[in-house]
A and B are shown apart, each in its own frame.
Chain A
Amino acid sequence: MTRADVTHGTIFDRLEPHVRRWERWALWLLVVLPLVSLIARAVMSDLGANPIERLERETGEWTLRLLAASLAVSPVIAITRWGWLIRERRFLGLATFFYASLHLSVYIGLDQFFDVDDIVKDVLKHLYITVGMAAFLMLLPLAITSTKGWIKRLGGQRWNRLHRLVYPAAVAGCVHFLWAVKKDITEPLLYAAVFVVLFALRLVPQRSRGRR
């Protein structure tokens, strides 16, 4: 029984017990299925004519999608009053970092095959790679400090300030995608639009919706 049951009779209150039973399963599926699909298609040689490019593209897309999902948690809580959902913000944030690491690993290990020379040149000379690396480096401290231990160590205020890095990381991720495509920027613009909406929902101060 939540506080909401006592004070409200909204649609979200009625949905809540059902959602609460299944949402963790659903989130695990969301996170695991893309990877399973990629592995299955790799094993069956069904990644198309340029498998490495496909791996890079899809791991990158899922990084952005999971990042958007993790940024959507707080706005969803504001609308539904499902406070318990906050734990999924960390879950989705770590999932984001997982796919970001996969994306980086494909680039370093498969695309460039660990050629440090080529990688350094790429990062220094080609802006979309520079920006991509910056995005990853901004997600790294967020993943490391995602634990309760770190929240205690930093204190709530400093932890919150550090985790505002998610905003420039999201921007860098979108710009990386935008600059990576050859000409058709439809998809990168779509992602950017989604992030603009999420930013607006989170950064515009909540007025009479109760505490954040």
Chain B
Amino acid sequence: MLIKRPDDIPSSEITPESMYLNRRTFVGAAGALALGSVLAPNLLSARATSDGQDDKLTSEEDATSYNNYYEFGTDKEEPKVLAASFKPKPWTIEIAGLVKTPKKMAFEDLFRALPVQDKVYRHRCVEAWSMVIPWQGTPLKDVIARCEPLPSAKFVEFTTLYDPRRMPGQAAPVLPWPYKEALRMDEAMHPLALLATGMYGKPLPNQNGAPVKLVVPWKYGFKGIKAIVKMRFTDKMPNTTWNDANPSEYGFYANVNPQVDHPRWTQSKERRIGQFLKIPTLMFNGYAEQVASLYAGMDLRKNY
């Protein structure tokens, strides 16, 4: 399996060793450290890396049992249980909107003969936790090529399955179902954008969005729409679910940006699942070199 190395961290992002060492020690510090070393066996190794960045793969156990997938419950441990009996096949994906030929395609037909690639990406949730996940999937641009969008298409909108009988969480209006997400066409055509059909060398588990989910590693995880049934090409910026649910907190672009806080929590640091100490969040989740040019001249504080 080809493991792609994540990009080098610029020296400006390196957390000075003194920052870690210069802590006020309270009476409970020893207890906290003891508890911490119990909670995360690699506590000591996390402190040993001087730049605070440790792009070790997240354990498959953690990645498949800690999921924001409200279609199967709002507790992060619920989707693994509630999605256990979900059947992701047979699956149909509708290609609609500004395309040469709108059609409905069987999942197998849409992905037929498209090479499956291994991509190890950092995944950054808007809630300030993150993982490193070995995905298997097809670059979104290859699938879009197969959809034959018209030149007038400026955005591509994705929709999740809507079926409360199969997705029990949809029985409650906690979000305006069905889940929708969208990308600008240049974002969608970027080589980093992936339609994932597997992870850890296995087919995508139900709780991770089987049979196919979107992975856009430079954006917050809620852009990674799961269980996609429709791709619609349009010239108007589509509404996206979290932006509809809470416009002041979740934007369309949702680029990972340590300088722009979420109204209720900070975005300058994140908890890497499996590690004890928080690590600094990187601009565009560390993919700035590849994607910053997409947003040249844009005010990313306004376009959050």
Contact = CB atoms under 8 A, between A and B. Distances in A.
Interface of A: 42-43, 45, 47-53, 105, 108-110, 112-116, 118, 121-122, 125-128, 179-180, 182-184, 186
A42 B77 CA distance: 17
B266 A118 contact: yes
Interface centre among B28, B39, B74, B273, by most chain A C-beta atoms within 10 angstroms, is B39
Given A42-B39, A110-B32, A114-B26, A122 B66 contact: no
A50 B23 contact: no
Contact of B23 (A113, A182, A183): A113
Given A49-B65, A52-B271, A128-B264, A114 B39 contact: no
A47 B246 contact: no
Contacts, number: 81
A124 to B, nearest CB: 11
Contacts of B269: 118
A51 B274 CA distance: 9
A101 B278 CA distance: 22
B264 A126 contact: yes
Interface in B261-302: 261, 264-266, 269, 271, 273-274, 276-278
A43 B274 CA distance: 15
B88 interface: no
A112 to B, nearest CB: 8
B277 A113 contact: yes
Contact of B39 (A52, A118, A126): A52
A122 B267 CA distance: 11
Given A118-B266, A183-B70, A110 B36 contact: yes
Contacts of B245: 183
Contacts of A126: 264-266
Interface residues of B, number: 39
B35 interface: yes
A184 B264 contact: no
B129 interface: yes
Contact of A50 (B74, B264, B265, B271): B271
Given A184-B174, A186-B74, 20 more contacts: A42-B38, A42-B39, A43-B38, A48-B65, A49-B62, A49-B65, A49-B76, A105-B28, A109-B26, A110-B32, A110-B36, A114-B23, A114-B24, A122-B265, A122-B266, A125-B261, A125-B266, A183-B175, A183-B245, A183-B246
Contacts of B65: 48-49
A113 B29 CA distance: 9
Given A109-B32, A110-B32, A183-B246, A47 B266 contact: no
A110 B266 CA distance: 16
Contacts of A112: 278
Nearest to A182: B127
A52 B272 CA distance: 12
A50 B129 contact: yes
A116 B22 CA distance: 11
B176 to A, nearest CB: 11
A184 B278 contact: no
Contacts of A110: 32, 35-36, 39, 276
Q: Which 8 A-B pairs have the closest CB atoms?
A: A49-B66, A184-B74, A109-B32, A49-B62, A51-B39, A114-B23, A49-B273, A184-B174
Contacts of A47: 39
Given A49-B273, A50-B66, A183 B32 contact: no
Interface in B1-44: 23-26, 28-29, 31-32, 35-36, 38-40
Nearest to B261: A125
Contacts of A108: 26
